[in-house]
């Protein structure tokens, strides 16, 4: 999968989980600081990414990822 | 105070009295830390404006929310950060940009979780320094200010306490909530209530300096888990006590002696971290408490009653047993039962039944009602021989508990002498206790518990009247000579200085060392012994041998040249039999001092308090009874003398039971010189002078053996 496509899917997933518009999500946005995800939503995001991309991520490392660009890069390493 | 400490003091005023507060990272979810903090601030009725900051919400609790703190157009005095630790740096950075100077970081996930958390904490400190901000936390419960001018509850505690004059500072957040609950049940109020968590920026020292000038605070309570700057804490407490006459009570957890076991010297093994902590607190005038109950027992005595002028108390009771128990404890705490004057005795004879005990402790008998308590209390309180009352009540069928409580409250209101109470029992006396608590009369569930608070308040009152002297700085010392010996050995990789080297270090500080010399041959030993005069002591000298006695390396009472020469060979042969591969530098020969008393002096470097000096009587007193005293350097003459008097066996030096009075002044002088050596040569980790031989009054003392670990 090409990176732009990964990014598009990541944003779509975030918008769905956090119930926000995709247009509100900038590439450098931080899930917590900029998008207001709480700890439960952060966990839901990880689960949603796994489902969307059909991958299984290392939980501890996945929790460290907090930005859109970071998530794209991290998910891509599993594809 | 440093520039940063000055800044903290200024910023703490803003932190406690903000006109506008932003809760950064709050949310709408009740029962969560971010959500409850916002609710608590609203419910406490803050005297100011509150701004919720949340990236997703438009409003929280009907209050307009802001995406970022920098979006708030008006100035913000205080920010409370409740974001997860991973984004606290960004939140703090924005607070800096916004011009906020006071911050409370509630979030956990910093130093307490390890390396990664420590790194985050360091980032926060750097950001705070960059923007001249001060922050409390991270990893804390928050801050409460009950002053109506503020009414700030920036915490996730369940309760907003009553207004009072006690400030409580705690490193543990969980203890804070328990204390709030405990205090509420006893009608105890607070001025300020602070959980400071990891104290990454604002520490207990900064808070002490702030509270020193806080008009609403009369007593300061502090719970500490670790002391990172012992001398700083001691200085702050001393300043608070001296300048504002506010007592500082500290409960310090971790009364273990780990670390002491690895020590090489006597001083090292005797000076456990807790013993040093005890000594340092006493030296600074800090009252150390063992548990929450004891802390509040003492705190309410300070907060509610006048300080006692002397140790003379009167006990008034309607039951003999509790009166005796209280008397026993009072004596143990250094208090005395006042002897009533003639007039008081006459009053008692007139107003109390013939079966009553009109001597101290006054027993008004089991059937006493309020009138009898009134007569006994007024009689005792007006007696010039009495400086405080301890009133005990046990509930009999005719005891009018509430009336007696009211009577005590009335008398206490107009009295300039402290009155403490103990209504024994629970259910029957509960309304009486509530009356006492309402009128701020210290109440204790057990009568013996009244004694320590009385002794502590008396100690404090005497302390504030003392003039603390400055440590003497001796000019007849050769610091460079001592340092060069230490440096030379450190360069050579040697960490143990045997006697002949260690003696030169203490000699440089003009401590009187017994005449001595190092012999490197049999013949030289004879010559040196002759020149010193007999008897002499001969000891093996080697960097490899710390405990010379254990390897037969010490011989006393050598009385002639021939004996000295023979002993030289004998010691070397004995040592070699017991230790192989040992490098012997020679045999140290010293004049044997006779007729004195042996004491021990020592230095240890403590990680929290720095250089600590120890004093004790030599021989079995130090080995078995561990009868020693400690002080943190620098030490003034008063403290040096009190170190000597403090040990249980001090009478051995003071001429007890027909013994000679020894030269106490020369010991005090040696302690002060050692204190200066410890301060000026911090490379010394441990030092033992064992023994220091003290001669009779006016004849001085001599260092007979020294060892130093660097």
- Nearest by Cα to B601 from B513, B535, B536: B513
Who among B32, B56, B90 is closest to A36 (CB)? Answer: B56
Name the CATH topology of B306-465: Rossmann fold (3.40.50)
Who among B56, B83, B84 is closest to A35 (CB)? Answer: B56
A21 at the B interface (CB within 8 A)?
no
In chain A, where the domains are located:
3-18+28-76
CA distance A79 to chain B (A): 27
Contact A36 B54 (CB under 8 A): yes
A66 at the B interface (CB within 8 A)?
yes
Q: In the structure encoding, which two tokens stand for residue B61, read together?
A: 């609790």
Collect all residues with Cβ–Cβ distance below 8 Å to B404 and sequence separation of at least 6: B369, B370, B373, B393, B432
- Among left, alpha and beta (phi > 0; psi -120 to 50; other), residue B447 is alpha
Most confident option among A30-39, B183-192, B539-548: B183-192
CA-based angle B403:B186:B425, to the nearest 5? 55
Q: What letter does residue B494 receive in the DSSP assignment?
A: -
**Closest CA in chain B for residue A24:** B56
Categorize the per-residue pLDDT at B582 as very low, low, confident or very high, splitting at 50, 70 and 90: confident
Q: What would the DSSP string read from start to end of A30-49?
A: BTTTTT---HHHHHHHHHHH
How high is the mean pLDDT of chain B?
Answer: 92
A35 at the B interface (CB within 8 A)?
yes
Complex ipTM value: 0.86
In tens, the pLDDT along B53-103 reads: 999 899 998 999 999 999 999 999 999 999 999 999 999 999 999 999 999
Contacts of A41 in chain B (CB under 8 A): none
Mean per-residue pLDDT, B141-157: 97
In tens, the pLDDT along B267-305 reads: 666 666 788 898 899 999 999 999 999 999 999 999 999
CA distance B87 to chain A (A): 6
CA torsion sign for B556, B562, B568, B573 is negative
In tens, the pLDDT along B488-513 reads: 999 988 888 888 889 999 999 999 99
Contacts of A34 in chain B (CB under 8 A): 55
Give whole-number Cα distances, B400 to B369, B388, B395, in Å: 6, 23, 8
At B260 the pLDDT is 44
B541 phi and psi angles, rounded to 5 deg:
-120, 120
Rounded to an integer, what distance in angstroms lies between the CA atom of residue B124 and that of residue B140?
A: 15
Categorize the per-residue pLDDT at B331 as very low, low, confident or very high, splitting at 50, 70 and 90: very high
Categorize the per-residue pLDDT at B596 as very low, low, confident or very high, splitting at 50, 70 and 90: confident
Q: What letter does residue B45 receive in the DSSP assignment?
A: T
A38 at the B interface (CB within 8 A)?
yes
Name the CATH topology of A3-18+28-76: 1.10.1200
Contacts of B86 in chain A (CB under 8 A): 32, 64, 66
- Nearest by Cα to B242 from B460, B8, B472: B460
Contacts of A20 in chain B (CB under 8 A): 56
Rounded to an integer, what distance in angstroms lies between the CA atom of residue B115 and that of residue B223?
A: 25
Domain with CATH 3.40.50.261 in chain B: 306-465
A61 at the B interface (CB within 8 A)?
no
* Residues B203 and B172 sit within 8 Å (Cβ to Cβ): no
**Closest CA in chain A for residue B88:** A33
**Closest CA in chain A for residue B34:** A38
Spell out the alpha helix ranges (H) of B306-362: 320-332, 342-351
At B649 the pLDDT is 82
Name the CATH topology of B3-217: Rossmann fold (3.40.50)
CA distance A46 to chain B (A): 17
In tens, the pLDDT along A1-59 reads: 788 899 999 999 999 999 999 988 998 899 999 998 987 888 899 999 999 999 999 98
B623 pLDDT more than 80: no
Beta strands (DSSP E) in B487-596 are: 496-497, 516-519, 536-541, 554-558, 586-591
* Residues B380 and B364 sit within 8 Å (Cβ to Cβ): no
Q: What letter does residue B82 receive in the DSSP assignment?
A: -
Who among B29, B55, B86 is closest to A34 (CB)? Answer: B55
Contact A20 B90 (CB under 8 A): no
Domain with CATH 3.40.50.720 in chain B: 3-217
Contact B84 A39 (CB under 8 A): yes
Collect all residues with Cβ–Cβ distance below 8 Å to A60 and sequence separation of at least 6: none
Q: Choose from B25, B52, B56 for mutation: most chain A CBs within 10 A.
A: B56
Buried b (16+ CB within 10 A) or exposed e, B509-538: bbbbbbebbbbeebebbbbbbeebeebbbb
Q: Choose from A34, A35, A38, A62 for mutation: most chain B CBs within 10 A.
A: A38
Buried b (16+ CB within 10 A) or exposed e, B325-358: bbbebbeebebebbebeeebeebbeebbeeebeb
Mean per-residue pLDDT, B338-356: 95
Q: Sheet containing B78-81: which strands, arranged edge to edge?
A: B49-53, B20-24, B78-81, B102-105, B134-136
B519 phi and psi angles, rounded to 5 deg:
-100, 135
In tens, the pLDDT along B631-670 reads: 999 999 989 999 999 888 888 888 776 777 889 999 999 9
B257 pLDDT more than 80: no
């Amino acid at each position: 999968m090409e990176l732009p496509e990964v990014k598009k899917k990541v944003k779509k997933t975030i918008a769905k989980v956090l119930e926000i518009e995709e247009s509100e999500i900038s590439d450098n946005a931080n899930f917590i600081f900029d998008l207001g995800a709480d700890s439960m939503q952060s966990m839901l995001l990880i689960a949603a990414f796994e489902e969307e991309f059909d991958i299984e991520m290392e939980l501890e490392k996945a929790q460290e990822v907090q930005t859109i660009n970071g998530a794209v890069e991290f998910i891509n390493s599993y594809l | 105070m440093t520039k940063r400490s000055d800044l903290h003091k200024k910023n703490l005023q803003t932190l406690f009295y903000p006109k506008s507060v932003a809760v950064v990272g709050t949310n709408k979810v009740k029962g969560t830390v971010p959500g409850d903090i916002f609710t608590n601030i609203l419910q406490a009725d803050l005297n100011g404006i509150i701004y919720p900051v949340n990236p997703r919400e438009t409003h929280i609790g009907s209050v307009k929310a802001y995406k970022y703190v920098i979006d708030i157009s008006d100035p913000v005095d205080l920010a409370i950060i409740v974001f997860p630790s991973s984004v606290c740096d960004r939140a703090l950075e924005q607070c800096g940009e916004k011009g906020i100077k006071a911050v409370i970081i509630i979030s956990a996930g910093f130093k307490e979780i390890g390396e990664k958390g420590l790194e985050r904490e360091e980032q926060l400190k750097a950001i705070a320094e960059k923007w001249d901000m001060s922050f409390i936390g991270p990893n804390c419960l928050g801050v409460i200010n009950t002053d109506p001018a503020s009414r700030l509850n920036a915490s996730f505690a369940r309760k907003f306490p009553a207004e009072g004059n006690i400030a409580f500072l705690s490193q543990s957040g969980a203890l804070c909530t328990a204390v709030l609950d405990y205090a509420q049940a006893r009608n105890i109020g607070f001025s300020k209530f602070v959980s400071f968590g990891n104290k990454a920026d604002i520490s207990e020292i900064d808070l002490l300096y702030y509270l020193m000038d806080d008009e609403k605070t009369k007593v300061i309570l502090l719970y500490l888990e670790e002391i990172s700057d012992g001398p700083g804490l001691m200085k702050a407490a001393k300043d608070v006590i001296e300048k504002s006459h506010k007592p500082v009570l500290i409960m310090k957890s971790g009364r273990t002696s780990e670390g002491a076991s690895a020590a090489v010297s006597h001083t090292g093994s005797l000076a456990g971290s807790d013993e040093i902590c005890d000594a340092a607190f006493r030296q600074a005038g800090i009252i150390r408490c063992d548990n929450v109950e004891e802390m509040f027992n003492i705190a309410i005595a300070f907060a509610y009653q006048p300080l006692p002028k002397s140790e003379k108390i009167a006990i008034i009771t309607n039951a003999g047993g509790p009166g005796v128990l209280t008397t026993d404890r009072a004596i143990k705490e250094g208090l005395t039962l006042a002897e009533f004057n003639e007039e008081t005795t006459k009053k008692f004879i007139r107003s109390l039944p013939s079966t009553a005990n009109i001597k101290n402790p006054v027993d008004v008998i089991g059937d006493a009602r309020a009138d009898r308590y009134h007569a006994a209390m007024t009689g005792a309180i007006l007696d010039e021989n009495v400086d405080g009352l301890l009133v005990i009540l046990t509930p009999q069928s005719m005891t009018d508990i509430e009336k007696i409580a009211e009577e005590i409250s009335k008398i206490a209101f107009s009295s300039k002498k402290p009155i403490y109470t103990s209504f024994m029992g629970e259910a029957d006396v509960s309304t009486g206790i509530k009356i006492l608590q309402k009128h701020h009369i210290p109440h204790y569930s057990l009568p013996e518990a009244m004694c320590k608070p009385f002794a502590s308040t008396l100690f404090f009152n005497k302390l504030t009247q003392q003039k603390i002297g400055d440590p003497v700085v001796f000019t007849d010392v050769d610091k460079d000579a001592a340092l060069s010996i230490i440096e030379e050995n450190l360069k050579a990789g040697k960490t143990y200085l045997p006697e002949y080297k260690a003696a030169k270090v203490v000699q440089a500080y003009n401590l009187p060392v017994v005449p001595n010399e190092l012999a490197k041959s049999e013949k030289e030993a004879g010559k040196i012994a002759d020149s010193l005069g007999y008897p002499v002591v001969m000891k093996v000298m080697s960097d490899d041998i710390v405990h010379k006695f254990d390897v037969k390396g010490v011989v006393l009472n050598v009385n002639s040249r021939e004996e000295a020469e023979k002993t030289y060979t004998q010691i070397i042969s004995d040592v070699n039999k017991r230790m192989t591969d040992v490098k012997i530098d020679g045999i140290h020969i010293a004049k044997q001092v006779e007729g004195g008393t042996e004491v021990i002096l020592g230095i240890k470097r403590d990680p929290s308090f720095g250089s600590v000096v120890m004093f004790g009587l030599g021989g079995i007193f130090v080995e078995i009874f561990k009868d020693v005293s400690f002080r943190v350097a620098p030490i003034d003459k008063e403290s040096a003398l009190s170190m000597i008097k403090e040990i249980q066996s001090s009478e051995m030096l003071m001429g007890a039971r027909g013994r000679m009075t020894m030269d106490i002044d020369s010991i005090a002088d040696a302690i002060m010189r050692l204190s200066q050596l410890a301060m000026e040569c911090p490379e010394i980790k441990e030092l033992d002078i064992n023994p220091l031989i003290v001669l009779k009054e006016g004849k001085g003392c001599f260092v007979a053996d020294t060892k130093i670990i660097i």
